[in-house]
Amino acid sequence: MRKTDIIDVVARKLSPYIFLFGFYLVAFGHRTPGGGFQGGVVMASGVILLALGRDPGVAMTAFPPGRLSIAETASYIMLIALGLAGVAAGGYFLENVLPAGFVVPRVGFVFALNIVIGIKVGAGVSLIALHLFREESR
C-alpha cells in the first residue's frame, strides 16, 4: 500500500481520539456496555492505525515492544493478585474484597479489574500487531 500525506495526517490526528475513547471505555465499563477488554482492543487499534497510516517504526518508537511486554506482564500479575486477594480474605477467586462503604459498593473492584484487563488486552494486542508488522516489513 502506498502511503500518502492524507493517510499520514489522518493517522496522526485520529489516533489520540481513539486512545481517549479506549480509556473512556475502560474507565466507565462498570456503568456502561464495554469495559476492560473492549477498551483494551480500542486502544490497541490506535497503535495499529499509527502503524498502518504512518510506519511500523513510528508506532514501535511511540510504543516500544519492551515496555508493552512489561505492561502486559505486570497487568497479568496484578490480575492474579486481585484474584488471590479474594482467596486470602476467605472467599473465592476474584471475589470483591473491598469494604462495604468504599466509594460505590461492589463497583470499585470491578473498576480495578477493568483497568487491569484493559492494560493487559491493549498491550497484548498491540504487541501481536507490531510483531506482525515487523515480520511483514522484513
Per-residue pLDDT of the chain (138 residues; tens, 9 = 90+): 577 888 889 999 999 999 999 999 998 887 776 788 999 999 999 999 999 898 888 899 999 999 999 999 999 999 999 999 889 988 889 888 776 655 555 677 788 889 999 999 999 999 999 999 988 777
Task: Report how far Cα 30 is from the mean position of its chain's Cα atoms.
Answer: 16
Q: HEC states along 15-27?
A: HHHHHHHHHHHHH
What crossing angle do the helices spanning 36-53 and 108-137 adopt, rounded to 10°? 30
- Cα–Cα distance list, 123 to 32, 45, 47, 55, 65 (Å): 23, 11, 10, 19, 9
CA neighbor of 9 nearest in space, from 41, 52, 54: 54
